Amino acid sequence: MKKTLRFLLLALVVPLMLQSAKPASAQWFVGIHVGFGPPALPVYDLPVCPGDGYFWTPGYWAWDADDGYYWVPGTWVLAPEPGFLWTPGWWGWGDGGYFWHEGYWGPHVGFYGGINYGFGYYGDGFWGGRWQGGHFFYNTAVWRVGGGFHNVYRDDTIIHNTTIINNHISFNGGQGGIDRRPTPQEESYASERHIAPVADQTRQVEAAHGNPQLRASVNQGRPAIAATSRAGEFSGGGVVQAREAGGEYHAPPAERAAPGGEAAHPANPVHASELPEHQPAQVPSTGNPDLDRKYQQQQQQLATKQNQEHQQLAQRQQQEDQQAKQRNYTPQKTQQMEQKHQQQTQKLEQQHQQQTQKMVQRQTSHKR
């Protein structure tokens, strides 16, 4: 019961949504913070549109505190009103972790992290169709529709566009994420009237959450139900299975067990003392032994400096914890202090990751 209640609070979290602190994203994000990014998007085929007026909403990886990432299959749903299009949600890096930016319905397709969801959503704009005279016209170059559809056209310009990001990365920013920011036009769409996900989309999330086979830890990034013709219908001819995983699956950090069976480090550490010790990054050989040795020394120096900063922050946080006990802080004040500690810890680790990444990029740029 406790787990179900927590899931419903996350899945039906419209009253709890927070406006993103990043004006550039111009979108709402749900208060879900994960310390590691989702798996790559699986490769699958588009199920046939079940009827006129239905709109394709791409599949994505959702998160549950107990089950980890799980796949929400893409599905066809009716638009809430004529003229409205779907902007998919997306995972984005910020403040030491990944936040889920909720999708929405609106007059235009806004920024969705540059993620290539396929089927008209190639990371930049929308190519699945257009509204005209109160009717939606389907672009058969990217969407599959059955017989009897009269509102169709074909525009395969995007298929030959070499600017499409040809990968299956499922998050924006951070290490290995999509490097794309919203355009001024996409930012302007933030001021338009938006509608939250409709009931069929919520039903799809609930059905996905209740299916253990859709957990990334079970399907290794290749879900048996990748897409459905109708929301909540996970069996029958309208179900499409993933052809392959979008990339190599890696178990999340929290699943790497330490001696005794406990997780070596929490996914979202609160205190700096919980952070893993930094190790020197391994830089590919440049072919110059002296230069390689120099780079390895620089990496060692950086790791030593970062670990010292861990210790310094951990000492300050420990002093504040002791002070809180001595002064008998109220639960509310203690919680505020712990939230501050978590923000400090995540900010420091984010800085360290950026430092390491920049140094590796600078050194590998000299590789011959």
Residue 8 CB partners (closer than 8 Å, separation 6+) = none
Per residue in 33-88, pLDDT (tens digit) is 687 889 999 999 999 999 888 999 999 999 988 889 999 999 999 999 999 999 99
Are the C-beta atoms of 322 and 328 separated by less than 8 Å? no
Among candidate residues 80, 89, 111, the one with its CA nearest the CA of residue 13:
89
Structural domains in the chain (count): 2
For residues 302 and 305, what is the distance between their CA atoms, to the nearest angstrom?
5
9 lies in some domain: yes
217 lies in some domain: yes
On whether both 151 and 6 belong to a single domain, the answer is yes
For residues 99 and 22, what is the distance between their CA atoms, to the nearest angstrom?
12
User: Looking at this protein, which amino acid is placed at residue 136?
Assistant: F
Among candidate residues 104, 88, 101, 63, the one with its CA nearest the CA of residue 208:
63
On whether both 241 and 287 belong to a single domain, the answer is no
On whether both 187 and 328 belong to a single domain, the answer is no
206 lies in some domain: yes
Q: How confident is the model at residue 116 (pLDDT cuts 50, 70, 90)?
A: very high
Residue found by looking up tokens 């017989």 in the block: 147
What torsion do the CA atoms of 11, 15, 21, 22 make, to the nearest 10 degrees?
Answer: 60
Where in the sequence is the domain holding 74, given as residue range(s)? 2-254
Q: How confident is the model at residue 265 (pLDDT cuts 50, 70, 90)?
A: very low
Q: How many CB atoms lie within 10 A of CB 158?
A: 18
Q: Does the structure show a pLDDT above 80 at 363?
A: no
Strands 18-19 and 60-64: unpaired
Burial (CB < 10 A; 0-12, 13-18, 19+), residue 270, is middle
Average pLDDT in the chain = 81
On whether both 248 and 276 belong to a single domain, the answer is no
Tokens standing for residue 262: 């406990």
On whether both 182 and 323 belong to a single domain, the answer is no
In whole angstroms, how far apart are CA 57 and each of 89, 250, 309? 10, 26, 44
On whether both 199 and 292 belong to a single domain, the answer is no
261 lies in some domain: no
For residues 233 and 231, what is the distance between their CA atoms, to the nearest angstrom?
6
What DSSP string runs through 67-86?
TEEEEE-EEEEE-SSTT-EE
262 lies in some domain: no
For residues 125 and 113, what is the distance between their CA atoms, to the nearest angstrom?
11
For residues 112 and 82, what is the distance between their CA atoms, to the nearest angstrom?
21
Q: Please give the residue that has the higher pLDDT: either 11 or 30.
A: 30
Helix extents (H) in the chain: 2-11, 184-188, 199-209, 216-219, 289-326, 331-364
On whether both 167 and 239 belong to a single domain, the answer is yes
Angle at 90 between CA 85 and CA 95, to 5 degrees: 140
Last residue of a domain, one of 203, 225, 254: 254
Per residue in 204-228, pLDDT (tens digit) is 999 999 999 999 999 999 999 999 9
Half-sphere exposure of 37 (CA within 13 A, CB side): 20
Task: Name the 3-class secondary structure at 164.
Answer: coil
196 lies in some domain: yes
Q: How many CB atoms lie within 10 A of CB 96?
A: 21
- pTM equals 0.64
Tokens standing for residue 153: 């056209």
Task: Name the 3-class secondary structure at 268.
Answer: coil
Tokens standing for residue 364: 């590998």
For residues 199 and 232, what is the distance between their CA atoms, to the nearest angstrom?
11
On whether both 191 and 299 belong to a single domain, the answer is no
On whether both 100 and 62 belong to a single domain, the answer is yes
Last residue of a domain, one of 185, 220, 254: 254
Phi, psi angles (nearest 5°) of residue 60: -160, 165
336 lies in some domain: yes
Tokens standing for residue 124: 């930049």
| 135 membership: H or E segment, kind and range | strand 135-139
On whether both 56 and 150 belong to a single domain, the answer is yes
On whether both 249 and 284 belong to a single domain, the answer is no
What pLDDT does 358 receive? 80
What pLDDT does 368 receive? 46
Per residue in 236-261, pLDDT (tens digit) is 999 999 999 998 888 776 443 333 33
Residue 32 CB partners (closer than 8 Å, separation 6+) = 10, 63, 99, 100
On whether both 210 and 83 belong to a single domain, the answer is yes
20 lies in some domain: yes
